[in-house]
Structure 1
Amino acid sequence: MVNDEWVELWVMFCAAGGFCAYSWYWCIRSIIFYRKNGYDFSQDFGPRIYWSARGGDDRLLAGPRAKFLIAMPFSVLASSFMLLFTVLGLLGTIKPCLDCRP
Protein backbone atom coordinates (compact mmCIF):
# COMPACT_ATOMS: atom_id res chain seq x y z
CA MET A 1 0.00 0.00 0.00
CA VAL A 2 1.42 3.36 -1.02
CA ASN A 3 0.59 6.36 1.10
CA ASP A 4 1.69 9.98 0.86
CA GLU A 5 4.75 9.42 3.03
CA TRP A 6 6.18 6.85 0.62
CA VAL A 7 5.64 9.11 -2.39
CA GLU A 8 7.40 11.96 -0.61
CA LEU A 9 10.28 9.68 0.33
CA TRP A 10 10.71 8.46 -3.24
CA VAL A 11 10.71 12.05 -4.54
CA MET A 12 13.24 12.96 -1.83
CA PHE A 13 15.32 9.91 -2.77
CA CYS A 14 15.49 11.05 -6.41
CA ALA A 15 16.30 14.65 -5.48
CA ALA A 16 18.87 13.80 -2.80
CA GLY A 17 20.40 11.11 -4.99
CA GLY A 18 20.84 13.51 -7.87
CA PHE A 19 22.33 16.21 -5.65
CA CYS A 20 24.62 13.67 -3.98
CA ALA A 21 25.85 12.33 -7.32
CA TYR A 22 26.46 15.88 -8.59
CA SER A 23 28.41 16.80 -5.44
CA TRP A 24 30.54 13.65 -5.52
CA TYR A 25 31.18 14.08 -9.26
CA TRP A 26 32.58 17.60 -8.90
CA CYS A 27 34.51 16.75 -5.76
CA ILE A 28 36.26 13.80 -7.42
CA ARG A 29 36.90 15.78 -10.62
CA SER A 30 38.40 18.63 -8.56
CA ILE A 31 40.68 16.24 -6.67
CA ILE A 32 41.92 14.80 -9.96
CA PHE A 33 42.35 18.25 -11.55
CA TYR A 34 44.25 19.83 -8.66
CA ARG A 35 46.36 16.73 -8.10
CA LYS A 36 47.52 16.81 -11.72
CA ASN A 37 48.35 20.54 -11.36
CA GLY A 38 50.32 20.08 -8.15
CA TYR A 39 47.53 21.68 -6.06
CA ASP A 40 47.99 25.02 -7.76
CA PHE A 41 44.93 26.97 -6.65
CA SER A 42 45.56 29.88 -9.02
CA GLN A 43 43.34 28.12 -11.58
CA ASP A 44 39.65 27.83 -10.84
CA PHE A 45 37.90 24.58 -11.65
CA GLY A 46 34.38 23.31 -11.19
CA PRO A 47 31.00 24.94 -10.72
CA ARG A 48 30.60 28.47 -9.42
CA ILE A 49 29.85 28.37 -5.70
CA TYR A 50 28.58 31.42 -3.85
CA TRP A 51 28.80 31.96 -0.08
CA SER A 52 25.32 33.47 -0.03
CA ALA A 53 21.92 32.57 -1.43
CA ARG A 54 22.04 35.77 -3.43
CA GLY A 55 24.24 34.52 -6.22
CA GLY A 56 25.41 36.69 -9.05
CA ASP A 57 27.63 39.04 -7.05
CA ASP A 58 31.23 38.07 -7.77
CA ARG A 59 32.35 39.35 -4.36
CA LEU A 60 30.48 36.40 -2.79
CA LEU A 61 32.05 33.85 -5.12
CA ALA A 62 34.14 31.19 -3.34
CA GLY A 63 37.78 31.10 -4.36
CA PRO A 64 39.38 27.94 -5.69
CA ARG A 65 41.05 26.99 -2.40
CA ALA A 66 37.94 27.64 -0.28
CA LYS A 67 35.79 25.80 -2.80
CA PHE A 68 38.11 22.77 -2.78
CA LEU A 69 38.73 22.61 0.99
CA ILE A 70 35.41 23.83 2.47
CA ALA A 71 32.47 24.16 0.08
CA MET A 72 32.75 20.92 -1.89
CA PRO A 73 33.41 18.63 1.11
CA PHE A 74 30.51 20.28 2.95
CA SER A 75 28.15 19.73 0.01
CA VAL A 76 29.28 16.09 -0.27
CA LEU A 77 28.74 15.55 3.45
CA ALA A 78 25.34 17.27 3.54
CA SER A 79 24.01 15.52 0.43
CA SER A 80 25.27 12.14 1.64
CA PHE A 81 23.47 12.57 4.98
CA MET A 82 20.26 13.61 3.19
CA LEU A 83 20.46 10.51 1.01
CA LEU A 84 21.32 8.29 3.98
CA PHE A 85 18.30 9.41 6.02
CA THR A 86 16.04 9.08 2.99
CA VAL A 87 17.22 5.53 2.36
CA LEU A 88 16.80 4.67 6.05
CA GLY A 89 13.24 6.00 5.84
CA LEU A 90 12.51 3.91 2.77
CA LEU A 91 13.92 0.81 4.46
CA GLY A 92 11.75 1.41 7.50
CA THR A 93 14.65 1.86 9.92
CA ILE A 94 13.43 5.32 10.85
CA LYS A 95 9.78 6.27 10.79
CA PRO A 96 8.97 9.06 8.28
CA CYS A 97 6.02 10.91 9.73
CA LEU A 98 5.27 14.45 10.80
CA ASP A 99 2.68 13.80 13.49
CA CYS A 100 3.69 10.48 15.04
CA ARG A 101 1.85 9.21 18.07
CA PRO A 102 3.19 6.29 20.09
Structure 2
Amino acid sequence: MLGRMVLVTDEWVELWVMFCAASGLCGYSWYWCIRSIIFYRKNDYDFSQDVGPKIYWSARGGDDRLLATPKAKFLIAMPFSVLASSFMLLFTVLALAGIIKPCLDCRP
Protein backbone atom coordinates (compact mmCIF):
# COMPACT_ATOMS: atom_id res chain seq x y z
CA MET A 1 0.00 0.00 0.00
CA LEU A 2 2.45 2.59 -1.13
CA GLY A 3 1.19 6.10 -1.21
CA ARG A 4 -1.36 5.56 1.54
CA MET A 5 -0.82 7.92 4.43
CA VAL A 6 -1.52 6.71 7.92
CA LEU A 7 -2.96 9.66 9.83
CA VAL A 8 -2.90 8.31 13.35
CA THR A 9 -0.03 6.33 14.82
CA ASP A 10 1.44 6.21 18.29
CA GLU A 11 4.20 8.56 17.20
CA TRP A 12 1.86 11.18 15.74
CA VAL A 13 -0.38 11.64 18.76
CA GLU A 14 1.73 14.60 19.87
CA LEU A 15 1.27 16.25 16.48
CA TRP A 16 -2.51 15.85 16.64
CA VAL A 17 -2.59 17.31 20.16
CA MET A 18 -0.42 20.18 18.94
CA PHE A 19 -2.74 20.67 15.96
CA CYS A 20 -5.79 20.96 18.23
CA ALA A 21 -4.03 23.36 20.61
CA ALA A 22 -2.50 25.50 17.86
CA SER A 23 -5.73 25.73 15.88
CA GLY A 24 -7.67 26.81 18.97
CA LEU A 25 -5.06 29.43 19.88
CA CYS A 26 -4.84 30.63 16.29
CA GLY A 27 -8.60 31.00 15.99
CA TYR A 28 -8.80 32.87 19.30
CA SER A 29 -5.99 35.23 18.28
CA TRP A 30 -7.48 35.95 14.85
CA TYR A 31 -10.94 36.49 16.35
CA TRP A 32 -9.77 39.17 18.78
CA CYS A 33 -7.48 40.81 16.24
CA ILE A 34 -10.24 41.15 13.65
CA ARG A 35 -12.74 42.23 16.27
CA SER A 36 -10.38 44.93 17.58
CA ILE A 37 -9.71 46.21 14.05
CA ILE A 38 -13.45 46.55 13.46
CA PHE A 39 -13.98 48.20 16.86
CA TYR A 40 -11.19 50.77 16.53
CA ARG A 41 -12.06 51.50 12.91
CA LYS A 42 -15.63 52.36 13.90
CA ASN A 43 -14.31 54.62 16.69
CA ASP A 44 -11.78 56.42 14.46
CA TYR A 45 -8.87 54.67 16.23
CA ASP A 46 -9.67 56.21 19.60
CA PHE A 47 -7.49 54.20 21.96
CA SER A 48 -9.10 55.59 25.11
CA GLN A 49 -11.50 52.62 25.04
CA ASP A 50 -10.32 49.06 25.43
CA VAL A 51 -11.61 45.95 23.68
CA GLY A 52 -10.60 42.32 24.00
CA PRO A 53 -8.93 40.25 26.68
CA LYS A 54 -6.53 41.71 29.22
CA ILE A 55 -2.92 41.30 28.16
CA TYR A 56 -0.11 41.59 30.69
CA TRP A 57 3.54 42.24 29.83
CA SER A 58 4.66 39.81 32.54
CA ALA A 59 3.74 36.27 33.46
CA ARG A 60 2.84 37.37 36.99
CA GLY A 61 -0.30 39.11 35.81
CA GLY A 62 -2.83 40.61 38.20
CA ASP A 63 -0.79 43.79 38.67
CA ASP A 64 -2.48 46.60 36.73
CA ARG A 65 0.85 48.38 36.24
CA LEU A 66 1.87 45.53 33.90
CA LEU A 67 -1.35 45.70 31.89
CA ALA A 68 -0.85 46.56 28.21
CA THR A 69 -2.39 49.80 27.05
CA PRO A 70 -5.06 49.55 24.35
CA LYS A 71 -2.72 51.04 21.74
CA ALA A 72 0.16 48.68 22.61
CA LYS A 73 -2.20 45.75 22.62
CA PHE A 74 -3.58 46.69 19.19
CA LEU A 75 -0.24 47.49 17.54
CA ILE A 76 2.13 44.98 19.20
CA ALA A 77 0.58 42.21 21.29
CA MET A 78 -2.30 41.11 19.07
CA PRO A 79 -0.33 41.03 15.79
CA PHE A 80 2.46 39.12 17.56
CA SER A 81 0.02 36.53 18.94
CA VAL A 82 -1.59 36.13 15.50
CA LEU A 83 1.79 35.69 13.84
CA ALA A 84 3.13 33.23 16.44
CA SER A 85 0.00 31.09 16.55
CA SER A 86 -0.26 31.03 12.73
CA PHE A 87 3.33 29.81 12.42
CA MET A 88 2.72 27.12 15.05
CA LEU A 89 -0.34 25.93 13.15
CA LEU A 90 1.47 26.07 9.80
CA PHE A 91 4.39 23.93 10.98
CA THR A 92 2.04 21.46 12.65
CA VAL A 93 0.00 21.06 9.47
CA LEU A 94 3.16 20.67 7.39
CA ALA A 95 4.39 17.97 9.79
CA LEU A 96 1.05 16.16 9.66
CA ALA A 97 1.05 16.30 5.87
CA GLY A 98 4.54 14.81 5.78
CA ILE A 99 6.16 17.78 4.08
CA ILE A 100 8.50 18.35 7.01
CA LYS A 101 9.64 15.50 9.17
CA PRO A 102 9.34 15.88 12.94
CA CYS A 103 12.27 14.50 14.87
CA LEU A 104 10.54 11.53 16.53
CA ASP A 105 13.58 9.35 17.16
CA CYS A 106 16.09 12.02 18.04
CA ARG A 107 19.10 10.94 20.02
CA PRO A 108 21.97 13.25 20.94
Give the shorter-chain TM-score range: over 0.9
Report the Cα distance in structure 2 between the residues aligned to 1:38 and 1:76, rounded to whole angstroms: 23
TM-score normalised by structure 1 residue count: 0.93
The structure 1 residue matched to 2:96, chosen from 72, 83, 90, is 90
Partner of 1:54: 60
SS at match of 1:45: coil
Partner of 1:63: 69
Report the Cα distance in structure 1 between the residues aligned to 2:60 and 2:104, rounded to whole angstroms: 31
Larger Rg: 2
Report the Cα distance in structure 1 between the residues aligned to 2:37 and 2:74, rounded to whole angstroms: 8
Report the Cα distance in structure 2 between the residues aligned to 1:3 and 1:100, rounded to whole angstroms: 17
Q: Once the two structures are superposed, what CA deviation does each residue of 1:40-79 show, in whole Å capped at 9, x if it has no partner?
A: 0000111000011111111110000000000000000000
Report the Cα distance in structure 2 between the residues aligned to 1:5 and 1:62, rounded to whole angstroms: 40
The alignment covers a number of residue pairs equal to 101
Partner of 2:40: 34
Sequence identity percentage: 87
State the 1:96 CA deviation: 1.1
Q: Once the two structures are superposed, what CA deviation does each residue of 1:78-99 show, in whole Å capped at 9, x if it has no partner?
A: 0000000000000001111243
Q: Which runs of 5+ in 2 are unaligned?
A: 1-5
Q: Which runs of 4+ in 1 moved over 6 A?
A: none
Q: Considering only aligned residues, what root-mean-square deviation do their CA atoms show, in Å? A: 1.4
